[in-house]
Amino acid sequence: MSIPDLAQLPEVSAQTRAGLKYHILGTVQQTLVADLEPGQALFSNAGAMSWMSRSIQMTTTANGGIGGILKRAFAGASLFVVDYAANKTGGHVAFSADFPGKILPIELEAGQSVIMHKHAMICAEKSVQFDIFFTRKLFAGAFGGEGFILQKLTGPGTVFAELDGDAVEYHLGNNEQLSVEPGHVAMFEQTVSFDITMVKGITNILFAGEGLFLATLTGPGRIWLHSLTPSRMAHRIAEYLPGK
């Protein structure tokens, strides 16, 4: 039996507004392949790259010096950033998802931001700015499933994000709200308000199996949800481990 050629995988090919061509391969465990022409570059967290052409130049930086390292440490990202740039001949660089799910390209206008959990970002165009985002309330961050500090990516440029399971997108209207189990919140636009509320009713708290808290997302703006969470998968797998 021959090994399937990579080109036989289902493929979605597109191009960012800045002219970066990319391909999203596969269905369950997707891979992003970016075609870098001379003058084009991407950055990612350290350790994210899967493979690349020999013609790609890889440079590891602190991305903002000591201040940048501290920001990334607080946000749960790797301490260093890796830049990928093409030389005169061009080439490609690939990033594979860490968990079964979907890879989404998010196009950001100048000044437009998206907030995401620490494992969501795969890579981004060099024009995108990385920062940290504090939830408005310490209480919300403490029980929100992803910690007090999230990651903030600001355009212009394209961010490629990894969502676990299937990606579900909602467009919330002004003051429209959605209650979500916190672990399913992947990312949201900065115009969306994020808060945590306690589940109402003692019976719901004790027997509903949904935990003590729900995330409340209030529009306007877009939100993206995971259909699968690693914690629930780990819980299911644990049932089959020796000693259970």
* CATH code of residue 105: 3.60.160.10
Number of domains in the chain: 1
Q: Is residue 244 part of a domain?
A: no
- Nearest Cα residue to 150 out of 176, 188, 123: 188
Q: Is residue 120 part of a domain?
A: yes
pLDDT digits 0-9 by tens, 146-173: 445 688 899 999 999 999 998 899 999 9
List the chain pLDDT tens, one digit each, 244 residues: 344 455 566 788 999 999 999 999 998 889 999 999 998 999 998 788 999 999 999 998 776 555 555 565 555 556 678 999 998 889 999 999 888 899 999 999 999 999 998 788 899 999 999 887 776 555 554 544 444 568 889 999 999 999 999 889 999 999 999 988 888 899 999 999 988 776 654 544 444 445 567 788 999 999 999 888 777 777 677 777 776 5
On average, the pLDDT of the chain sits at 81
Q: Is residue 65 part of a domain?
A: yes
- Nearest Cα residue to 144 out of 106, 182, 181: 182
Q: Is residue 224 part of a domain?
A: yes
Tokens of 117: 């959990």
Domain of residue 211, residue span: 6-238
Q: Is residue 243 part of a domain?
A: no
Q: Is residue 1 part of a domain?
A: no
Q: Is residue 158 part of a domain?
A: yes
pLDDT digits 0-9 by tens, 20-51: 999 999 988 899 999 999 989 999 987 889 99
The model carries a pTM of 0.81
Backbone angles phi, psi at 234, to 5 degrees: -60, -40
